[in-house]
Structure 1
Amino acid sequence: MNTIKVKCCSSCGISFNCGDSSTDKKCWCNDFPPIFSLSEGADCLCPECFKNSCSLKIDEYVSTITPEKALDNKAKDLPKTTHLIEGIDYYLENGNYVFKAWFHLKRGSCCGNGCRHCPY
Structure 2
Amino acid sequence: MSDTGDVTLFAPIKQKQCANCGVLFACGQTEPNGACWCNNVPAVLAPDPAKNCLCRVCLKAYVIEL
Q: Is the shorter-chain TM-score for this pair beyond 0.5, marking a shared fold?
A: yes
Partner of 1:10: 19
Cα distance in 2 for partners of 1:27, 1:14 equals 17
**Structure 1 vs Structure 2 CA RMSD:** 2.1
Gaps of 5+ in 2: 1-10
Q: More relative contact order in 1 or in 2 (CA 8 Å, sep 6+)?
A: 2
Cα distance in 1 for partners of 2:14, 2:39 equals 15
Residues 89-100 of structure 1 correspond to what in structure 2 (within 5 A)? none
> What amino acid sits opposite 1:45 in the alignment?
L
Q: CA deviation at 1:3?
A: 5.2
TM-score by structure 2 length?
0.69
> What amino acid sits opposite 2:32 in the alignment?
S
Partner of 1:29: 38
Runs of 4+ in 1 over 3 A off after TM superposition: none
Residues 81-96 of structure 1 correspond to what in structure 2 (within 5 A)? none
Gaps of 5+ in 1: 58-120
Cα distance in 1 for partners of 2:51, 2:12 equals 20
- Identity across the alignment (%): 35
Residues 1-120 of structure 1 correspond to what in structure 2 (within 5 A)? 4-20=13-29, 21-23=31-33, 26-57=35-66
| Matched residues, number | 56
